[in-house]
Structure 1
Amino acid sequence: MKQRNESQIIPLLRQEEGIRYNPYIDSLGYPTTGVGFKLGPSGAPLSHYTFSLSDNTINAWLQDNVNGTLASMQSNSEIATALAHCNQERKDILTSMAYQMGVSGLAGFHCALSAMAAEDWAEVATQMLDSSWARQTPERAQRHADVMRSGQWQPTYDF
């Protein structure tokens, strides 16, 4: 199992979210591109978005989105307290969750966040998997719960 001190959030999100270089309509009807970058309102014609992105552009846009997510996470006292008890791998998992469902969605995981503050990693994983998020994205939730439980990157991550 891999363990690193530096953040792997960019490769993690690229792997979990997938990468699209050209605009497309996502499952909710929003024009989207890159690594889940919403471009406009639901129902907007795709013909309004005629460009493609490079890896450098995607990474810069992604890093900017991650920076905003991290700032919002730090402004929520319950999340900030939980982050203070996490190693870098666990912080990246929380950031991935906030990126996927928004910081307000992550803030709804009160029991998991409390378990993080107590460093009860088995309970954190249990709480993560007992959620509507896990029912909506079960494979991603399982991968994230495995990292949260162990504190180490699992072989399913290829970065």
Structure 2
Amino acid sequence: MNQKSEIIPLLREEEGMRYTPYLDSLGYPTTGIGFKLGPQGAPLSHYTFTLSDKTIDAWLSDNVDAVRSSMQQDDEIAAALTHCNQPRKDILTSMAYQMGVNGLDDFHHMLSAVVAEDWEEAASQMLDSTWAKQTPERAQRHADVMRSGKWDPTYDF
């Protein structure tokens, strides 16, 4: 069964959507759907604009395309993706979107477990990370989908 990607609704739900700049949980000026604008600690007064839905959609689509392209350029991540159904691919894409492709690439044990299709171990490795300590609810939801390979009951797409 070939499922369609749910990465856009997934990122909208996990990242939230803001039309004006704000400081994210790590102090980076951010807007839209997790669009990092500048360096950590930069004052919001440097970012005085409001985004439209159309701009957010275009920016998100472009950013997701760039993340996916970068993921394919990384041999370890690209190998893992070949073992994933669509929900698991979207989970890896969400992780790369949130922490960067280099951040995802640091999950060597998780990626090895994905290649081995050991979904329980992959989920365990996701939860045994700094990322999971920083965003525990998101990490738990992502690990649940990685374990099951299904959106339900974790997400309602």
Q: TM-score range by the shorter chain?
A: over 0.9
Which runs of structure 2 are paired with 1:3-152 in the superposition (5 Å)? 5-152=3-150
Q: Secondary structure at the match of 2:88?
A: helix
User: Are residues 129 and 45 of structure 1, via their aligned partners in 2, closer, same or farther at CA, if it must alter by over 3 Å?
Assistant: closer
| Structure 1 unaligned blocks of 5 or more | none
Q: Please report how far the alpha carbon of residue 136 of structure 1 lies from its aligned counterpart in structure 2 after TM superposition.
A: 1.4
Higher mean C-alpha displacement, 101-110 vs 18-27: 18-27
Q: Do the aligned residues in 1 keep the contact of 2:144 with 2:154 (CA within 8 Å)?
A: no
Contact residue 4 and residue 89 of structure 1 kept, 8 A: no
Q: Deviations over 1:81-112 (max 9, x none)?
A: 00000001000000000111111111111111
Query: For 2:41 and 2:128, how far apart are their aligned partners in 1?
Result: 33
Retained in 2: the 8 A contact 1:125–1:149?
Answer: yes
Give unmatched runs, 5+ long, in structure 2. Answer: none
Report the Cα offset of residue 149 of structure 1: 0.7
SS of aligned partner of 1:41: coil
Q: CA RMSD in A?
A: 1.6
Measured against aligned partners, the alpha-carbon deviations of 1:25-77 in whole angstroms (never above 9, x if no partner) come to 23333322101112233343323322211222111101111111111110110
Q: How many residues align?
A: 157
Shift of 1:4: 6.9
Flag the structure with more relative contact order, 1 or 2, with Cα contacts below 8 A and sequence separation at least 6.
1
Q: Aligned to 1:32, what secondary structure does the other structure show?
A: strand
- Given the superposition, is the C-alpha separation of residues 43 and 137 from structure 1 closer, same or farther in structure 2, using an over 3 Å criterion? closer
Q: 1:63 to 1:44 in 2, by over 3 A?
A: same
In percent, how many aligned pairs have the same letter?
75
1:54 corresponds to which letter in structure 2? S
Report the Cα distance in structure 1 between the residues aligned to 2:24 and 2:137, rounded to whole angstroms: 19
Q: Is the 8 A contact 2:28 2:41 kept in 1?
A: yes
> Which has the higher mean CA deviation after the structures are superposed, 140-149 or 26-35?
26-35
